[in-house]
Structure 1
Amino acid sequence: MTIVDRTVRPSYTKSLFAGRIASELVFPYPGMTAAEKARVETVSASAREVLAGYDPLKAEREGWIGDDLVRELGERGLMGLFVSEEYGGLGLGQSAYCRVYEEFGRVDGTLATVMGVHQSIGTKPLHLYGTDDQKARWLPDLASGRKLAAFVLTEPNVGSDAYALETRAERQADGSWVLNGEKRWIGNGDKDVLTVFAQSDLGHVALIVEKGTEGLSTGPRFETHGLKANHLQRVRFTDVRVPAENLLGEPGDGFRIAVNTLNNGRMSMGTAIAGGMKRFLELSLEHTEARHQFGRPLADFEMVGDKLAWMTRQIYGIESMSYLTTGLVDRGDTDFALESAMTKVAASDTGWYALNRAVQLHGGEAYMADHPLSKALRDFRIFPIFEGANDVLRAFVALNGLKTLSEELPDVASLSIGDPGRALGVLAPYVAGRVQRRLRPERPVGVHPALAKQAAELGEQVSRLRERTEGALRKHGKKVQEKQLVQKRLADAASGIYAQTAVLSRASTALQEARADSEAERHLAVGFCQQSAREVGRRLRALEVNDDRQTADLATATRASGGYSFSL
């Protein structure tokens, strides 16, 4: 029986909410040895060779990426990138896996999704929590592409609130399980190896169910707006008997297995989107250099240049966040849940904005159905929704940060205003610490001197984040759990600070190594940090100056009237 690790590990982002910068977790920027880089390039080149013949529009028309493609990818080990070599995979770490995964995102969002469903979340539970016997039984076929995997969590009445599963697993006297319930929107739901999450009298469980098991049925397939080559299925369980040896972890571990799997999977989405953004930029440069209007290339115009520069800066930021986060995973001694969530939110939101800018630069040409940007529009809109809706992930980040700080604050809720002496005695050490933080905010350790100004500004932002987080706790108390606009601002501010941290760490390494383009990278990093710092400032100011009450009143009135009720 594999034990699900419950070790409490340090978290960089949680420390930010408490006003601390855990520099040792993020400096220096995680890198690879020459041998690791060479291997990643070899695997990436292999992927590019296979994908050179892939036609995204044909896959969209036919509703599948093609069994021949799956077979060829499997023969090259590309269907089991992180699966250990013992079971036929390539045994890549998280950073290496995500670098190769970028190649799929660059070519086609649907292809990246199918690969992610199979590897990032489908195969991952077995890889992380399977026993040796379970791994030997299923991983070789999954790594070779002979079989495909699915992650079976979402239900008709259960989406973001995954804890409230309605699918039931009843344990039998012989240790087996009988499974009943319905799932929906399951990628690869009609394929071979399904990791199914269900509620039981012993807590949540994760069970492996194989295609063809009696009582398992799938379909009809969902027709979707985009990602049309991804098999999205209904899956039903009617008295499905699952052998005892198909249980992952122990009874009660199911929810933790699901969450930890998604935490891992979100990182590959971030790097796939980064790959897609690079392709959007390439297409935009090609078009704006070749297309002339008013006697000049479109690229000569300032508003065009502004969009190109914005995309370059944002790609650098998303890439830096993504690979700092994968580096945390590869370290193996940190809690990366919040960083994974923030990276997914930032990548999916920014990727969508980048796509819209690329479409704008192409004009009507990109609106034609067979243009690659038109297909990307169909595919990309789902990314802020699946593998954790972005608003839910923002709440997850903020509530974890609020909890972290609340555990460090003195208990003042029971203090009487009429007893100022007692209050002073409890609060004096805390107030002194707050004053000290205001006078001398922490700065990240390890930043190159050429980025000292940005490091100082980062420290100021961390100090303000802590103050605003405390202010929210003291103003709203336990009701802060319901204040989602507060949570959104705190989460976005923390995400911006983390993005700047990643950029400063990466650029500092480039400068310290005196790379040929390190000065250009420094300028890029400074520009990103300046833009991000302004946005963080706006988020933090909005915690004190906002129109939340009017917004809430208007929402209530709109619901009461059933819509827009004003006439001319």
Structure 2
Amino acid sequence: MKGGKLLINANRCVSGKLLPLYSVRGAASKAQARPAARESGSFTLNLFRGRFETAQVFPYPDPLSADQRQTLQELVPPVEKFFQEVNDPAKNDADAQIEENTLAGLWELGAFGLQVPGELGGLGLNNTQYARLVEVVGAHDLGVGITLGAHQSIGFKGILLFGTPEQKQQYLSRVTAGEYAAFCLTEPSSGSDAGSIKTRAVLAPDGEHFILNGSKIWISNGGIAEIMTVFAQTPIEKDGKTVDKVTAFIVERSFGGVSSGPPENKMGIKCSNTAEVYFEDVKVPKRCVLGGLGNGFKVAMNILNNGRFGMGAALAGTQRAALAKAAEHAATRTQFGKRLIEFGTIQEKLARMAMLQYVTESLAYMVSGNMDSGAQDYHLEAAISKVFASDSAWTVVDEAIQVMGGMGYMKATGLERVLRDLRIFRIFEGTNDILRLFVALTGIQFAGSHLQELQRAFKNPTAHLGLIFSEAGRRASAAVGLARGPDLAPHVAPDLRPHADELAKLVAEYGRVVEGVLVAHGRGVVDRQFQLNRLASAAIDAYTTAVVLSRASRAARSSLPAAAHEARLASAWAEEALARAPGLLAAARAPKDLKHYDLLARIGSDVAADGGQASVNPLNI
């Protein structure tokens, strides 16, 4: 994963060009021609600059109108009832397919077209409404959730986002009326590195069709989809040369030449269809180009970024359901003459499970709320919500099994199925490892562009006095501990303000560390993955802390029944996250930690070279 390749890996779809990073070795000769660094309302992007940006964090979003809230109140009860009374997750898992009556019921409920406009057969929900219904599904059956999500969160999402009026009219009415959709990007030799896809589409001699050839692997709904968003390399004329660029296409199975393999035998989410899809001389009309010729990476990036909050919402539901089972068991099970909940160990487990669920849920609705409010920069926050949700859900369900002991291990409880289902969430739609690097590198690029702008300003100071005094003054004040962050008192409940003050200090320190890393490594930072991972983890701690402080403060202002409980959850999380983050930042810049990373790198290389553990058994036999 060198240079620009890493950003392709990071989001499976980002342009291969790495934005210029700040370097003390000198600016490029064309520095003066570079555009000014852009501004953003993203908390996470600005964190890398050491700026506490409140716009997309405080206050906690409430994007529903009265009518939208009423619609949601009418939709949630029947969906809950359906999953309690009709859907059978154990049978779906055992049969490795969703029961026909369940699928029919989901189509009747409109569950396959939640965000499609009403005039095209959908329910026309916004992102927050969608999140609430997805949360219900996640609480009951993740396999069904994958079938629904693969269809609408990514399958036809590109048509919603980039489709022409004619494409929307033709296809959205079909994907809400019984025809399944799929998202076809991954290939046998191309997983996280989407830039290495081999599937090709070339314009036919008639000039009216593309001829598509290739194959895709591990495609959710791949064996049942009639309408697919397919990504393929296409020859493009650029600067007098022919180069390959990825293009997105709408492909119908009815075009001919489209086939699929048998359903994959998976560890979990067994009832969802996963299959390889083959394209052999498929004639794709030019009208089926989605988002413009050569714009496939942009289309894929936006689809994935736009849908990631849904994963957080679903896994918030999963965690809530698992926590309920563990809490009920702890409250009723007696051992050594006491109920389990009377033991400190169990109290701590339930508390930590509740914290993780609260943070996951808060992230999902923060991101969806910002999207509904028109925010443009939410891609890092969406990535964080996916990473945090999938890691946390695994921990919460694992701990729920631990609290329930042998009973939790039995199939009848249902948690072993959920644990198997959960494992894929840390892998697909961008592995958590890649997304952490995506967060760190994207943030560093944003910070680096502003540092470059300041560097250029000093070359012509009389023309850039405003920038120099605002940026340089801010940075100089921060260096001597005089910088003042935003006044958070109006946004944060009084009991939580000490945590907000600590968070503000962390944000300032974060910016100093990022600058130090850039000065030390320049463009070479793309290869410093040990450090990038620590920066990403600290960013996750900072953002999640801001989010829960915002949500708990909203609960206090609104005098919600559980406001005191929310304050305790937010306070506990903030204490732990804010205590953890400084150590992560120190590890990202301290020489002793860099030596330790070199040691780990050597050990890892030894293991790979030896095909496993390089040391022999202690008995030497």
* Both proteins in one fold, TM over 0.5: yes
**How large is the Cα RMSD of the aligned pairs?**
2.2
Please list the CA deviations of residues 225-256 of structure 1 after superposition, one character each: whole Å capped at 9, or x if unmatched: 11110110000111110111211121012111
How far is 1:178 from its partner?
Answer: 0.7
Alignment partner, residue 388 of structure 1? 430
Contact 2:474–2:483 at 8 Å: present in 1 too? Answer: no
1:93 aligned partner: 126
| 1:186 pairs with 2:219 | yes
1:412 and 1:98 map into 2 onto residues whose CA distance is: 41
Secondary structure at the counterpart of residue 201 of structure 2: strand
Aligned residue identity for 2:69? K
| Alpha-carbon distance change, 73 to 560 in structure 1, aligned in 2, over 3 angstroms | closer
Does the CA-based 8 Å contact 2:185-2:230 persist in structure 1?
yes
Which residue, 261, 271, 277 being the options, matches 2:319? 277
Does residue 150 in structure 1 map to residue 182 in structure 2? yes
Residues 1:211 and 2:256 aligned together = no
User: Larger deviation: 297-306 or 535-544?
Assistant: 535-544
| 2:475 maps to 1:434 | yes
Shift of 1:410: 5.0
1:164 counterpart = 2:213: no
Q: 1:69 to 1:560 in 2, by over 3 A?
A: closer
Partner of 2:170: 137
Give, in whole Å, the separation in 1 of the partners of 2:556 and 2:538: 27
Distance 1:134 1:321 in 2: 33
For the residue of structure 2 that corresponds to 1:281, the secondary structure is helix
- Whole-angstrom CA distance in 1 between matches of 2:91 and 2:571: 42
Distance in 2 (CA, whole Å) between partners of 1:290 and 1:373 is 18
Q: Superposed, which structure 2 residues align to 1:254-269 within 5 Å?
A: 254-269=296-311
- Paired position in structure 2 for 1:418: none
- Cα distance, 1:81–1:304 mapped onto 2, change above 3 Å: same
Counterpart AA for 2:451? L
Q: How far apart are residue 431 of structure 1 and its match? A: 6.2
Please name the residue that 2:612 is paired with.
563
The answer (yes or no) to whether the contact 2:363–2:544 under 8 Å persists in 1 is: yes
Which residues of 2 match residues 57-68 of structure 1 at below 5 A? 57-68=90-101
**Contact kept? 1:444, 1:459, Cα under 8 Å:** no
Are the structure 2 counterparts of residues 256 and 371 from structure 1 closer, same or farther at C-alpha, using a change threshold of 3 Å?
same
Deviation at 1:377, TM superposition (A): 1.5
Distance 1:162 1:244, change over 3 A: same
* Aligned equivalents of 1:86, 1:430: Cα separation in 2: 50
Q: Percent identity?
A: 36
- Is this contact kept in 2: 1:267–1:343, CA < 8 A? yes
Q: Does 477-486 or 365-374 show the bigger shift?
A: 365-374
Residue 422 of structure 1 corresponds to none
Task: Judge conservation of contact 1:21–1:444 (CA < 8 Å) in 2.
Answer: no
Find the residue that maps to 1:408 and give its secondary structure. Answer: helix
Partner residue in 2 for 1:104: 137
Retained in 1: the 8 A contact 2:40–2:46? no
Partner of 1:14: 45
Partner of 2:543 in structure 1?
A: 498
Contact 1:443 1:456 in 2 (8 A): no
Alpha-carbon distance in structure 2 between the residues aligned to 1:427 and 1:141: 56
| 1:519 CA displacement | 2.8
Q: Check the 8 A contact 1:23/1:444 in 2, yes or no.
A: no
Matching residue's letter, 2:282: V
How far apart are 1:428 and its partner, in Å? 9.9
Q: Deviations over 1:492-527 (max 9, x none)?
A: 111111111111111222222233432332222111
Tell me: CA distance 1:286–1:518, structure 2 relative to 1, closer, same or farther (3 Å): closer
The change in CA–CA distance for 1:236 and 1:281 in structure 2 (over 3 A counts) is same
Q: 1:330 to 1:76 in 2, by over 3 A?
A: same
Match of 1:356 among 382, 395, 398: 398
Contact preservation (8 Å) 2:234, 2:247: yes
The change in CA–CA distance for 1:520 and 1:565 in structure 2 (over 3 A counts) is closer
SS at match of 2:542: helix
**How has the CA–CA distance of structure 1 residues 101 and 450 changed in structure 2, closer, same or farther, with 3 Å as cutoff?**
same
> Match for 1:26 among 57, 68, 71?
57
- For residue 231 of structure 2, the aligned residue among 197, 200, 214 is 197
C-alpha displacement of 1:318 = 1.1
Secondary structure class of the residue paired with 1:382: helix
Structure 2 CA distance, aligned partners of 1:165 and 1:120? Answer: 22
Stretches of structure 2 lacking an aligned partner (at least 5 in a row): 1-14, 16-37, 237-244, 457-466
1:126 is paired with a residue whose SS is helix
Deviation string, structure 1 residues 127-171 (Cα, Å, up to 9, x no partner)? 111122211212122123x11110011000001011222110112
Matched, 1:333 2:365: no
> After alignment, is 192-201 or 291-300 more displaced?
291-300
The number of residue pairs the alignment matches comes to: 551
**Deviant stretches of 4+, over 4 Å:** 6-9, 410-414, 426-432
Cα distance, 1:444–1:188 mapped onto 2, change above 3 Å: farther
Q: Residues 156 and 228 of structure 2 are in contact (CA less than 8 Å); yes or no, is this contact kept in structure 1?
A: no
Alignment-mate amino acid for residue 433 of structure 1: R
Where 1:383 maps in the other structure, the secondary structure is helix
